[in-house]
Chain A
């Protein structure tokens, strides 16, 4: 394709992505280097019958005018990154020096909002991704070994948890595990503890969020694997059988290697999606127990005072982590392309 026609074909799409994805990222980086103007303090002299006193007060009008004139705020460099709500450099440094054990250091670290959010996001990603892949694979194998007539309806119902709006899917589960809901009651009965409540317990909340994450992404993994299973070479399978391979050995040495490239694909998509975990925490009203990086940004943006700089700094840090997460994939894609040409 000629350069010129290529240019015109991709133009609308590229403009959209530049304006609404690339530019906002630049704007977020700029915003993160600024912070809101401080309040304008004026000194007023009150003179009364007993002499003059000086009082300092906030000039609300001037403050507002200054903030309106420069909504970006004043340049602060890396100040926002280093404050207690983000990297908390000084807190971490003093904790490192004063802690007697790694455990103590870890506990201090988990009291800092950013590190706690990061810990949750990474734990969520690290647990939900493999769980999805394993369970999706098992469902695909199971569906492949039942009668053909059953497959259609099974796929139909299996798609539901993935297709449904995340906020809605999470709410449905949340209502069921409520202490007064059916699953909540079942849990109380199983644990033999009538006061058990998922809402009130941090570990249970983490587990529930991960259960939801796995539940809602199994269909994706299973559909991809199911499609892959249709292309397994039947001759190889039969040859393996004649050579005396058991059912498990056939899965282990024929089917799993065949599905390996699909696993990379599922893992990539799942890593990207799990790292942005957001809606389930809103649905579960779990902000008190579990905060992800996305939630940290969301809470900064909402509410009465919009903490734009704070949100921007968290955003930039998140982008850095996404880049680290993606780097092996990017390097590989780049290398593949290099060898193709």
Chain B
């Protein structure tokens, strides 16, 4: 940076303090909930003194220690949250694999076609992307009941893949646009068919874009509530609808700590994901925007 654009101290100070404020707003709720999840309900929701949740006064008198894993035990073992976690893992894995397979093929074709119908397809994908998922769910329910498709994991997987498609197409489309056309065209001059050119020339260089898109597909599947809560039967529930069901049942039992433990359990994998893939997430968010 040149001397001319160096920032004066006051500006630096204001910027840093504003940033600190934002960081507290962004991160504090998560730290607070993580800390509180190891307390008893009387401390997490403290009527007497808010500092109780910090020091765990009631936790100490009720359990003998400053921390308790009772919420986690109740949620994971007693309420069988592990089953939901397993379902989530299956759903996410399948959704990511299938949507990337269909998405790369279609997005590659879209990025290489000069015709007007390719544009129309993308435009329709944009309209589909704007349709709230809950609307589609209201269209699924009747046929799914009639044909006995309701409640199964596989149905939900296909539905989530389809809902992810428009987004996947747009994102991969912008990545493929950046891969020079000369690459696959020279392969075709050498005698490859279109598919061979894709298989041997494009696939080896497409991974950064595919991994980024995969992360976002994963997030869409992992975070979904509208589809999973309406289309899965009770025993096939994934983590997010299971958490929602805790809200209904446990509040009457007076054990909201199950839900708190579940919230922390759902957040933990996402935290690890940002830790490892921060660069890809940032590049994915900007891919569509900066390019146009």
Contact = CB atoms under 8 A, between A and B. Distances in A.
Are these two chains actual partners, yes or no? yes
Given A160-B27, A294-B226, A13 B165 contact: yes
Contact of A1 (B5, B194, B240): B194
A241 B23 CA distance: 31
Contacts of A71: 142, 145-146
A326 to B, nearest CB: 6
Contact of A224 (B159, B222, B285): B285
Interface stretch (A79-87, A94-102, A179-187, A201-209): A179-187
Contacts of A186: 50
Given A13-B102, A138-B18, A247-B11, A276 B134 contact: yes
A331 B50 CA distance: 54
B189 interface: no
B138 A16 contact: no
A127 to B, nearest CB: 18
A2 to B, nearest CB: 7
Interface string B219-237: 1001101100010000000
B50 A182 contact: yes
B253 interface: no
Contacts of B32: 172, 176, 182
Interface in B244-292: 244, 247, 259-260, 263, 266-267, 270-271, 273-275, 278, 281-282, 285-286, 288-290, 292
B26 A160 contact: yes
Contact of A12 (B102, B123, B130, B195): B102
Interface string B30-55: 10110000000000111100100100
A14 to B, nearest CB: 7
B141 to A, nearest CB: 6
B121 A10 contact: yes
Given A154-B19, A298-B134, A31 B142 contact: yes
Contacts of B89: none
Contact of A172 (B23, B128, B263): B263
A13 B47 contact: no
Interface size class of B (residues with CB under 8 A): 35 or more
Given A224-B289, A265-B288, A157 B5 contact: no
Interface string A1-23: 11101100110111011011111
Interface residues of A, number: 109
A231 B286 CA distance: 12
Contact of B158 (A16, A178, A223, A311): A16
26 contacts: A5-B193, A9-B106, A10-B106, A16-B165, A21-B128, A141-B15, A145-B7, A146-B12, A146-B15, A155-B282, A159-B278, A167-B244, A168-B266, A172-B263, A175-B45, A175-B260, A180-B47, A215-B26, A218-B26, A224-B289, A275-B130, A276-B134, A282-B225, A315-B138, A334-B123, A341-B116
